[in-house]
Amino acid sequence: MDVERHLAGVRRAVDAFAAAVAEAGLAASVPTTPDWDVRRLVAHQGLVHRWATATVVGETIDDEAIEREGMDAEDPVAWLRAGAERLVETLADAPDDLQALVFLADAPAPREFWARRQCHETTIHAVDALAAALGRYPRAADTWLEPDLALDGIDELLTGFLPRPRSRLRTPEPTTVAVLPDDAAERWLVTVTERPPTTERGAGDDGADVVLRGSAVALYLTLWNRSDEVEADGFGLWADGARVSWS
């Protein structure tokens, strides 16, 4: 996926986010992030958009003040949209040789990195809002997601987040996890040990210790801990160890 497709993904996710908030209400609990209600979810996402924009342009922000602003906003969805639109415009106008912080393993160039990262950040939290509207974990058929975006988000998680030293996915005995979409040629093999996991693109089969099969969208939601649609023997190690958090 290129920058334009990622930025379109941000806008589509914000639209889905807004629709789910309208259906769920700001006070609704969020099944996929059980410590939050919808208002807190909106405030968090709006903070992340503003933080990402500041990082891209070389500024700093007061995270706590921005999140309070979101919590207190008279129209939280309008506040969310304003931050998202500034982010999209900033990245659309940024040069291809943008110089900015990146923080994942195997990261692309900064402009591509931030467009991709915010596409999936916004999409996953829009799925959280959908969960609040549904009152349960979503499944692929409940969402607006397309396979190309899902495959890209799986790759970001497996090759970008998991290999970082701060990731918590560990096992005392080496364990392999094959991720095998049944509607695409892409595949990944994650090796989990007592050190940070490693991921090999283009590898993985039924001989792995844990084999995950399903549609690209179902795998995306499951691997990001936003659905229970895909199950496999031995997959219990994933829920806590592979969870991505803000702090």
Q: In the chain, list all ranges with CATH 3.30.1050.10.
A: 149-241
**Tens digits of per-residue pLDDT, 188-208?**
999 999 999 999 999 999 999
Structure token pair of residue 244: 């991505």
Residue 247 predicted with pLDDT over 60: no
What is the pLDDT at residue 246? Answer: 56
Enclosing H/E stretch for 66? helix 63-72
d(C-alpha 129, C-alpha 30), whole Å = 7
Strand duo 188-192 + 198-201: pairing: antiparallel
Instruction: Please report which confidence band the pLDDT of residue 239 belongs to, taking 50, 70 and 90 as the band edges.
Output: confident
Contact status, residue 156 vs residue 223, Cβ threshold 8 Å: no
**Tens digits of per-residue pLDDT, 21-64?**
999 999 999 999 999 999 999 999 999 999 999 999 999 999 99
Q: Which residue has the tokens 């995306």?
A: 220
d(C-alpha 185, C-alpha 187), whole Å = 7
Q: In the chain, list all ranges with CATH 1.20.120.
A: 3-136
d(C-alpha 247, C-alpha 245), whole Å = 6
pTM confidence score: 0.96
Topology, domain 149-241: Nonspecific Lipid-transfer Protein; Chain A (3.30.1050)
d(C-alpha 150, C-alpha 172), whole Å = 30
CB atoms within 10 A of CB 197: 22
Topology, domain 3-136: Four Helix Bundle (Hemerythrin (Met), subunit A) (1.20.120)
